[in-house]
Structure 1
Amino acid sequence: MSGIAERLAALAEQTLEGRPLPLRIRAWDGSEAGPEGAPVVVLTGRQSLRRLLWKPGHLGLARAWVAGDLDLEGDLYEALDRLGHLLWHRDDQAGRRRRQSLPAALRALSALARPRQLRAGAQLLALAGPAGPPKPPPEETPTRRGPLHTLRRDSEAISHHYDVGNDFYSLVLGPSMVYSCAYWEDEAGTLEDAQRAKLDLICRKLQLRPGRRLLDVGCGWGSLVLHAVEEYGVRAVGITISEEQAGLARKRLAEAGLTDRAEIRVQDYREVTDGPYDAISSVGMAEHVGATRFRAYGEQLYGLLRPGGRLLNHQISRRPTTDAGRYRTDEFIDRYVFPDGELETIGSTVGLLERSGFEVRDVESIREHYALTLRAWVTNLQRHRAALDAFTTPGRVRVWHLYMAASALAFERNRIGVNQVLAVRTTDGGDSGMPRTRARWLGLPPHRARPAH
């Protein structure tokens, strides 16, 4: 009689449109099946199979991974990339990518398991053991009710993600404590160099200078506020709705002797009333706003700026959907990483900012930079794995490992992007206050054109 791995591989390949299994399987009985040399998916017990049968698709896989019912031997990036080829294919006629295969395959396996009279279903049920859906791992967010993006619900969602612990984030992010895409002027540089370059790029785009007033929306642990005050002489207010972030940000300001020039508040952007500001930065925060509230978000920030003031909106974007269906957030991300987070296309973001009153002056895609940043964070996580397990739960560390590695591949494969949008509130007379060339407002040497011949 064949082993469990061989039986599972044979059943799986029935649903993979004739394509071979991309990963090797090792089951709890020690049997293996699949291509030699490929990363090995380790099913540690019957519970792993039950998770996939009761919740086929991303969420079932994620729950098995987080709980430790499913493990991996080999390179996680390679394993996820191989799975990605099942999740996406390119339509030859339209040239567009569509989701397919793996979730459909798992759903098909699950459907086979339900009718007991089917031979394949009986085999799967026998392999999975006692029927019944397993409980989700404790790291999963509880069921959320009520309207999206109320002050209370947003506060709970932010707490789930950012209040994992400052010690945890300090090991993953490194000394910069910046939790957004870095700017890699040199791929051989360090993460700290790249994060400092990103903070400086934002300050230059906002044309910060001594005496100007900056509002940093979603200030995190205060790194941009510190940089802007120390290097550009501004007076700054940083707001966050994470108590843990605010506590550390205030401590860092105090240690730098900057409490007379900067303030950190636990405050939602909708509650800020003390404008006008000369500049507003929003870095990695707008993903939490929600599609239905984004225009109101833009109008709120517009109202807080003086005429001629600038907004730098740094935001992850999604690719446009390729069918008539509504875009849906990945279940794993929603349940374990960013509850209630929503991604929009860059076109939608620009359009909504314009309808909020802004003139959009510049859009810079830095997609490849985020892939490098995430790989650096994963390296930090792997290096400090034992300490991270002590600061939180091993399941939580597995969540962060999976989401960061998968996100790095998503940026590399152009499934998601990230953009810096520079917008301005013009004066009543239409004056933007912007220099005519990008080089001037970035503080770069002017371009010297060659004489025409």
Structure 2
Amino acid sequence: MFEKTVYKSFLSNSFTIPVKVTFWDGKSVVYGNGEPTVELIFKKPIRIKDIYNNASLALGEAYMDGKIDIKGSIEDLITSAYENASSFMQSNKFRKFIPKQSHTKTKSIADVQNHYDIGNDFYKIWLDRSMTYSCAYFKNPEDTLETAQQNKVDHILKKLNLSPGQQLLDIGCGWGNLLFTAVKNYQVRATGITLSQEQYDYVMQTAKEKGLSESVTVYLMDYRDLKDMAFDRITSVGMFEHVGKENLQAYFQQVHYLLKDDGAALIHGISRQQGGATNAWINKYIFPGGYIPGVAELVHHMTVENLQLVDLESLRRHYQKTLEMWHANFINNLDEIRKTKDERFIRMWDLYLQACAASFKASNIDVIQYLLVKKSSNQLPMTRGYLYT
């Protein structure tokens, strides 16, 4: 009885929408006014100590293990919890445990491969054909995922104002779509680096198939080990979230080191306008070593390294829509996914995709493109008009 009373206490002030909560004894309570569209079902009790230690980790694991079920939209439920400042998703009293992180070169390899090397065939099922695993850019509401992902790559490359013959570096090149587009559409020479063996193999093979092997180079290496090279343009998409809080300065120092004096860099990544943060469940199960930096924190590191911020653009709502489309693809292909993944994995990824969409929807996190040049560089156009011609 005491345990149930504590549950009711923290759940009663956690949502901004009406939510039906059904407990392990079959009894239900509705929190909020109106007809609930989401039901949170506790099949088994979760230790109160674990919830107060870190609610995100305890509840996430409980969902993965089937101790919790959710009828209705997980995205709506978590969005509601993020929008309530005193909920278990926001209050520090539910985050006593914060995981320690390490970002040595050896640990970084293990962390990246833990997420990205779980099988290209798995990612092919729910990503678009270009295998682009980052925020898309919806120029029109009716854009398909594939169109929006190509829009994003084009948007990045336009911002860089590329010229034929230039040298482009992509730090954290993923499955290579940006490299291939840059070479094909702008006649540059492109270099990518990744720590993912499967991504490296895919880029090498695809470059060969496209006849681009002489123009595309890819290295399986840590960004910190790239030396004695200089590039006209640098891109890095969804990368700095993996380097760790303690390495952000070194990351931008490396960008400065590798960028020519008249060059430009487009850094695209998840940021928080409210300041940096980690999530214990995401850190343990999805992105080991992940850290979402604050916007002010990032700008500080950029300017310390004499990188000048000339343009900043938020794509927060675009990432919400991207994740919703990934999730729809994921759910529509569960039969195929079940051939190689068990139910715990499927529940984990279902929660991950919807929770991230909710986090963007509620403005808990943002995704921002930072356009940078070196100090005193005046090579880019003075207005943004060149992006839309």
Same fold? TM cut 0.5: yes
User: Is the alpha carbon distance of 1:150 and 1:33 closer, same or farther for their aligned partners in structure 2, counting shifts above 3 Å?
Assistant: same
Matches within 5 A, 1:342-421: 342-421=291-370
What is the DSSP-based 3-state SS (H/G/I as helix, E as strand, rest coil) of the residue aligned with 1:312?
A: strand
Q: Contact between 1:22 and 1:82, CA under 8 Å: does it hold in 2?
A: no
* Map 1:158-307 → 2, pairs under 5 A: 158-307=112-261
Give the structure 2 partner of residue 12 of structure 1.
7
Contact 2:14 2:86 in 1 (8 A): no
State the AA in 1 paired with 2:304: R
The structure with the largest alpha-carbon Rg is 1
Count of aligned positions: 380
Note the C-alpha offset of 1:144.
8.8
Structure number with the bigger relative contact order (C-alpha 8 A, sep ≥ 6) is 2
Match of 2:64 in 1: 66
Give the counterpart of 2:380 among 424, 434, 447. Answer: 434
* Alignment-mate amino acid for residue 293 of structure 1: N
> Does structure 1 residue 309 correspond to structure 2 residue 240?
no
SS in 1 for 2:170: strand
The alignment partner of 1:278 has SS state of strand
1:163–1:243 CA contact under 8 A, matched in 2? yes
Q: Could you report, residue by residue, the CA deviation over 1:79-115 in whole angstroms, capped at 9, with x for unpaired residues?
A: 32343355x259xxxxxxx9239949xx9xxxxxxxx
Deviations 1:392-417, CA, capped at 9 Å, x for gaps: 33222222221221111211221111
- Corresponding residue SS for 1:316: strand
Is 297-306 or 17-26 further displaced after alignment?
17-26
Q: Secondary structure in 2 aligned to 1:99?
A: coil
Q: Which sections of structure 1, spanning at least 5 residues, go unmatched?
A: 91-97, 108-142, 322-326, 446-453
Q: Identity rate of aligned residues, in percent?
A: 33
Q: Distance in 2 between matches of 1:378 and 1:287?
A: 21
| TM-aligned CA distance change 1:160 to 1:150, over 3 Å | same
Cα pair 2:256 2:305 within 8 Å, conserved:
yes
Deviates more, 1:147-156 or 1:259-268: 147-156
Task: Give 3-state SS (helix, strand or coil) of 2:310's partner.
Answer: strand
Q: Out of 289, 294, 304, which is 1:340 matched to?
A: 289
Q: What is the aligned partner in structure 2 of residue 39 from structure 1?
A: 38
Contact 1:359–1:425 at 8 Å: present in 2 too?
yes
Output the amino acid matched with 1:359: Q
State whether structure 2 residue 99 is matched by structure 1 residue 99. Answer: no
Q: CA deviation at 1:307?
A: 1.4
Given candidates 11, 20, 24, the residue that maps to 1:24 is: 20
Q: Residue type of the partner of 2:186?
A: Y
Q: Which residue of 2 aligns with 1:81?
A: 79
CA distance in 1, matches of 2:150, 2:13: 49
Within 2, Cα distance between the matches of 1:75 and 1:319?
26
Deviates more, 1:14-23 or 1:232-241: 14-23
Does the 8 A contact of 1:294 with 1:352 survive in 2? yes
1:397, 1:15 → 2: CA distance? Answer: 28
Moved more, 11-20 or 156-165: 11-20
Cα 1:284–1:152 change in 2 (3 A) is same
Whether the 8 Å contact between 1:22 and 1:83 is mirrored in structure 2 is: no
Could you tell me whether the CA contact under 8 Å between 2:46 and 2:62 is conserved in 1?
no
Alignment CA distance shift 1:266-1:37 (3 Å): same
SS of residue in 2 equivalent to 1:433:
coil
Alpha-carbon deviations, 1:224-275, whole Å to 9, x = none? 1111111111111111001011111212111111111101211111111241
Q: Is the 8 A contact 1:168 1:388 kept in 2?
A: yes
TM-score by length of 2: 0.89
Root-mean-square deviation (CA, aligned residues, Å) is 2.7
